[in-house]
Amino acid sequence: MTRTWLQFDAPSRLILAAIAFLFLVGLASIYVTDTAAIGGHDGPRNATRQLVYLCVGISAAMVVLRIGYRDLGRWSYAILALALLALIPLMMAKLTHSTFGGLIPERRHAYRWINLGLIDVQPSEFMKVAFIVALAWYLRFRRNYRRFGGLIRPLLAAAVPLALILRQPDLGTCTLLLPVLLIMLFMAGAQIRHLAVLVAIGLVTLPLTWTQMRNYQRSRIVAVLLQSDALRRAIVESPQRYSFLTDRRSAVEWKADSGYQLVASKTAIGSGGLAGFGWGRGPYVEHAFLPDRHNDLIFAVIAHQWGLVGAGAVLIAYACIAVGGAAIAARTTEPFGRMLAIGITSLLMVQTIINVGMTVGLMPITGMNLPFVSYGGSNLLSNFLAIGLLVSVAQHRPFLLSPKPFEFRQRQRRRSSVLVSAPRSRGHSTARAASITALTNGSMSGGSKRASRISSSINSLIRSLYRSLRWRSTNWG
């Protein structure tokens, strides 16, 4: 079914309503952290900028809707190449420890942003969307990833941006892309045992990865483990045995050192109780006890103001986005569109799980924003680009005549697919059905034995499809 670029179906409306709610909650929380009596700025600076970022993000999403996801898919590899080129200057700045005249500023020993004057752009945020589009385009109509050797190419394609992002360093984005990659491969039909082997290889290489991490990265991971009283006592009693983790002093003073953000975040959430202190009220809102409370740890601010009720409402909104994305993917039979919907939904949900998980102390704090809630221009813009692609899949929902999507047969030949949009009115159904029948029969001519065997079944399939399609066009309008 094809809709105009400003017509939305039920799953799209559910997603857009959830995003509107999340943005308003985030904007209200950003505003109070700006205007707090102690620790706030002179006026709602970040809230005003977030509104500007919203306008830019909506405009970008509308451009994506206007173009359409299929046209963008044809340029997916070029878009991925441009995103990779944007990461190279950041790697060069890190290797040379140079800001190139302030073009690439250093913040917290990381080179993640490009200063464009009015705004700082974070290329890794746009790499996430470009990677998903390119991977979805690669996985369409392919069978080779059903074998273990066929997984090598997408893994190598993922290794290049991961290596560039890790050099910045940006551990949060790397931990986000890997689960999304595995989910897309699994949903595309990769064997579970093959994916399990990849996960096992990753687990085996963890000791090597641990030795290559920087001290502050290891301390964030250790801070999650040091929440255990038994582990802290063991480190104090046997410091040599646990020297690969941390030393005795860090285990004793972890609440004031590596675990300060984690403890402050959990305290802010727990002190909110059931209904919270109210908007703009509470010690963790009125005072700057919580670092990065307007972006990375904004979920703690929400729970502090509105308690379990407010935090639960936010999680329900994300569940609505997940349900809407899953509905769009389930209704889409075109392989690229389905894989794109799966990838974008997975991206947003994994990002949410990581952010909420690190806020409540289940994961290390890695600098992961909460989608549509946290402050940040690049993150908000990339999320709206992703939503624009997801809604575009829902608007242009063709059905596929041949070959069937995600059907793996050894004797299946590679044939070009015929994408046909649904008729917009009841009156065009008969004529369009006849034209499709003629088109299908024409594509089968030429002495193809396989086509001659299934010609009758294809014709009956077309008739049954259009009987249901006429009902859908009447009800979906």
Same domain, yes or no, for 394 and 426?
no
Residue 448 in any domain: the answer is: yes
- pLDDT for the residue numbered 141: 73
Q: Does one domain contain both 450 and 320?
A: no
Write down the pTM of the prediction.
Answer: 0.79
168 and 263 co-located in one domain:
yes
Residue 409 lies in a domain: no
In a domain, 53, yes or no: yes
Last residue of a domain, one of 366, 399, 432: 399
The DSSP code sequence of 290-335 is STTTTTTTHHHHHHHHHHHHHHHHHHHHHHHHHHHHHHHHHH--SH
Kindly state whether residue 233 falls inside one of the protein's structural domains: yes
- Looking at the structure, tell me whether residues 450 and 321 fall in a common domain: no
For residues 318 and 455, state if they share a domain: no
Give the chain's length: 477
Question: What pLDDT digit, counting tens, does each position of 69-120 carry?
Answer: 988 989 999 999 999 999 888 888 888 888 777 888 888 778 888 888 778 8
Amino acid at 419: L
Does residue 1 fall inside a structural domain? no
Give the tens place of pLDDT for each residue, 24-63. 999 999 988 876 544 455 457 888 889 999 999 999 999 9
Q: Do 283 and 348 reside in the same domain of the chain?
A: yes
Check whether residue 52 and residue 100 sit in a common domain.
Answer: yes
Looking at the structure, tell me whether residues 451 and 325 fall in a common domain. no
Domain assignment of residue 97, yes or no: yes
Phi-psi label, residue 2: left if phi above 0, alpha if psi -120 to 50, beta otherwise: beta
> In this structure, are 27 and 119 located in the same domain?
yes
373 and 323 belong to one structural domain: yes
| pLDDT (0 to 100) of residue 77 | 92
User: What's the angle, vertex CA 148, arms to CA 142 and CA 153, rounded to 5?
Assistant: 60
CA–CA gap between residue 400 and residue 406 (Å, rounded): 12
What's the pLDDT score for residue 20?
A: 95
Residue 458 has pLDDT above 50, yes or no: no
234 and 115 together in one domain: yes
Cβ–Cβ under 8 Å, residues 187 and 340: no
268, part of any domain:
yes
Domain containing residue 126: 10-399
- What's the total number of domains in the chain? 2
Domain end position, chosen among 399, 434, 467 = 399
Residues 46 and 163 in one domain: yes
Residues 6+ apart with CB under 8 A from 215: none
- Is 406 inside any structural domain? no
Q: Read off the pLDDT of each residue in 312-340 and give the average, rounded to a whole number.
A: 92
